[in-house]
Structure 1
Amino acid sequence: MHFDVGYFLSLVFHPPLALLRGLLTTVLTTFVSMAFGVLLGLLLSVCGLAPWRLLRWFNTAYIFVFRGTPLLVQVIMIYFGLPYLTNLDLFPQSIQLFGVISLAGAIVAGVTAFALHEAAYFSEISRAAIAAVDRGQWEAGKALGMSPGLVMQRVILPQAVRTMLPPLGNQINGMFKATSLLYLIAVPEMLFIADAVQSVNYKTIEVYLGVSVYYLALTTAWGFAQEVLEKRYSRGFGSI
């Protein structure tokens, strides 16, 4: 056996259409999961900062469960466990959204698992960022007649975003790689397609190394995008 350099270079620079579709699935799954995870994480962070003990306990319990168990286990439990426990076909082969978009049930399950998992981490990221904003900013906003919600929206969050961006960028990078776990529930992302390709031509090392280049390209490209965003927001907002 020998390493086929020609095939490896061909796979990297002239990938088959199936692999490009897998790449698109990886990217879309990452950003959709992160979007829902960030929104849910913000809500959880509000619970963590709330004056009501029950909400704080809920936030603590949620984080304890989703940060304390492996993401792989969560994907399996949501895709296989929830339908089994509820006796409902929650993730059928095809799910229609608004009568227009058709999604595979496995993708919906994967996005659900990733979003719930990410929310636990982003809850702590956003809670720490909000708590880091000087308390005087709250008082200044109230002195201007703003409601607590308006102070949060216009004063606190814009400043907290600067603190959130670096760890959020790292979470997105991690999510690009975590999508490979969808291979186990037959979602046609990059790793799933790579396994199908190597099972036909038996060029295992060449195929997996080629896919690794694509993952590296994704994380590197996002690294540059994150740097631009951090520079933009570092000078974009000021205090009251």
Structure 2
Amino acid sequence: MSLVPSVSGTPAAMPTAPDVPHEQLRTVPMRHRGRWAAAAVALVAGGGTLWSLAKNPNLDWPTVGAYLFHETVFSGLVTTLWLTAAAMAIGLAGGTVVAVLRLSANPVLSTLAGLFVWFFRSTPILVQIIFWGFLGALYPNLMLGIPFTDITFYSASTSAVITPTVAALLALGLNEVAYAAEIIRGGIQSIDPGQAEAAHSLGMKPGLTLRRVVLPQAMRVIVPPMGNETVTMLKTTALVSVIAGHDLMSNIQDVYAQNYKVIPLLVVAALWYLLLVSLLSVPQGWLERRYGRGSASAAGPSALRRLLTVRAARPGGPRTHTRIRKGNKA
């Protein structure tokens, strides 16, 4: 018993929990009936939708199976993959440079970098793809020489140099530079300036400080949005079909323009995009855990792992409560 002051001011006895040996305590997980009910409703709705699609004769599963591993589809798939990889490489390299220029103390360099980001983020990517695809209408010939003179070192037809694939790469790459620059700039600015000042006090030059001190710490902030940008880039490659870029979507459109099997072939494209995005999420999760070590916001186990892994409840944890066995009170 413990004594607590009563309303009248005199101590009053307050009952306390009986002293029970630790081995007689049993931990019981809390029940979340509403959560399980919502999960059941979601499973029923999702299962019903999938069942309806699977049994729909208009989906034409034989056609889906016939073209899922077709040579034409594989050819477009290769183009989609290398376009995504090349555009992201251009975006990361150019975005780092533009981000550093935006943070430069030089007002000219900072303004030019800001104008670059403003232009490519303000115009739709579809407009940029079409513009590069029809650049020959603006400049019939591409020439390399000394500005403001008639001296020319190289000249070629624009349509011979800027093919649909090159136009798609230019549009996707330059557009990604603008978005990657803002992501990298935000990551750099998230680091305490004292980190760079401490590195400078040790004699490190600004470039070395950026590579060895600032960027490794900023990666924790940069990796998640850049992973999302990679997934977005993979799907954005479908827009190059407007200039016949020979990507996955372009080849799919060429096929259903001949056999009129629009829905089955769109399902083929969707299945491949789903697979590729799922594969991209694996290295993204690894990078997030790699650079998030020691941080409270580090990525934890995935939802699938939490669903498949049965972990014993800890005594006193936030999701458990302790029950005393009957007949064992002290």
TM-score range normalised by the length of the shorter chain: 0.7 to 0.9
Could you tell me which of 71, 82, 101 is aligned with 1:17?
Answer: 71
Q: Once the 2 structures are TM-superposed, how far is the Cα of residue 196 of structure 1 from its aligned partner?
A: 1.6
Is 2:235 the partner of 1:177? yes
Is 2:155 the partner of 1:87? no
Residues 1:86 and 1:205: Cα distance change in structure 2 (over 3 Å):
same
Determine the C-alpha separation between the residues in 2 that align with 1:21 and 1:115.
21
TM-score, normalised via structure 1 length: 0.88
Q: Once the 2 structures are TM-superposed, how far is the Cα of residue 139 of structure 1 from its aligned partner?
A: 1.2
TM-score, normalised via structure 2 length: 0.65
User: Sequence identity, in percent?
Assistant: 34
- Equivalences for residues 61-72 of structure 1 within 5 A: 61-72=115-126
- Aligned-residue RMSD, C-alpha: 1.8
> Is the 1:91–1:109 Cα contact (8 Å) retained in structure 2?
no
Paired residue for 1:98? none
Which one has a larger percent helix, Structure 1 or Structure 2?
A: 1
> Is the 2:67–2:73 Cα contact (8 Å) retained in structure 1?
no
Which one has a larger percent strand, Structure 1 or Structure 2?
A: 2
Amino acid at match of 1:87: P
Q: Once the 2 structures are TM-superposed, how far is the Cα of residue 59 of structure 1 from its aligned partner?
A: 1.7
Residues 1:90 and 1:37: Cα distance change in structure 2 (over 3 Å):
farther
Determine the C-alpha separation between the residues in 1 that align with 2:237 and 2:75.
14
Paired residue for 1:6? 62
- Provide the aligned length of Structure 1 versus Structure 2: 224
Amino acid at match of 2:95: G
Q: Which stretches in structure 2 are left out of the alignment for 5+ residues? A: 1-56, 142-156, 296-330
Could you tell me which of 188, 204, 212 is aligned with 2:246?
Answer: 188
Paired residue for 1:99? none
Amino acid at match of 1:218: L
Determine the C-alpha separation between the residues in 2 that align with 1:177 and 1:50.
33
Determine the C-alpha separation between the residues in 2 that align with 1:236 and 1:199.
54
Determine the C-alpha separation between the residues in 2 that align with 1:153 and 1:47.
15
- Equivalences for residues 1-240 of structure 1 within 5 A: 2-12=58-68, 15-81=69-135, 83-88=136-141, 89-92=157-160, 105-235=163-293
Deviations 1:133-169 (A, max 9, x none): 1111101111211111111111111111121100000
Residues 1:2 and 1:79: Cα distance change in structure 2 (over 3 Å):
closer
Deviations 1:86-114 (A, max 9, x none): 3313341xx6xxxxxxxx82111111111
Q: Which stretches in structure 1 are left out of the alignment for 5+ residues? A: 96-103
Q: Once the 2 structures are TM-superposed, how far is the Cα of residue 11 of structure 1 from its aligned partner?
A: 3.0
